[in-house]
Structure 1
Amino acid sequence: MYGILLPTNDTKWFHAQLEGTMEGQVVLLFKLLFENSRDIQIKAKNTVDWVGTKPCCSSPVSFEAGTVLDIAIIHTSLLYLIYVNNVYCCDFTNYIPYDYANSFHVHGSIALYEISF
């Protein structure tokens, strides 16, 4: 298992690629420090469109400048559960194709990040 957080072509997006995860495992935990007050969105991609449920996935959530976010992605048999600062945020189903089911994006003005898994 490994996690990678990389900038995409759009510098506002960071891409977290998850592979080889086991059920119930925290597959990626990372910190984001926002240098400016910004809205963020956490999204998963399938072959048709961006998908997600609950407020912080389907629409942006605002954070003050200097906010540090602890984001955890937990793999279960049916869902990827997303927690932000230890609070349930949203989930993504596992039935979308494998190539896309493990792709998550976080949108925001990111000053630094840390990854642990």
Structure 2
Amino acid sequence: MYTEKVMDHFQNPRNVGEIEDADGVGEVGNVKCGDIMRIYLKVEDNVIKDIKFRTFGCGAAIATSSVITEMAVDKTIDEALELTNKQVAEELGGLPPVKMHCSNLAADALKTAIEDYKKNNK
């Protein structure tokens, strides 16, 4: 059902945790499935230098949270905003159709954290 890469990110998630003095924090959830994701950003010179996540949810939710942190680190804010749910799923080698909403949540959590960063740094 899941690719090896999904299982690897689920069993060995990268960038788990919180950033105490985060420059931006984004939280999204899906009431239907119960997944909740929070992403923390540390930004220097408009580049994401550190990114962490906390996710309560299924294996796919944890895997997508993990992989989006790897995809976004060292990107500019504008580059990170362009990351899509499709790219998240592709980076993991695909997700079952019933789990595609997890990639939407991961991309949305990143965008919400970036919006928070922009709001705090006008």
Under a length normalisation based on structure 2, what TM-score does the superposition of the two structures give? 0.31
Structure with the higher fraction of residues in helix conformation: 2
Tell me which protein shows more strand as a share of its residues.
Answer: 1
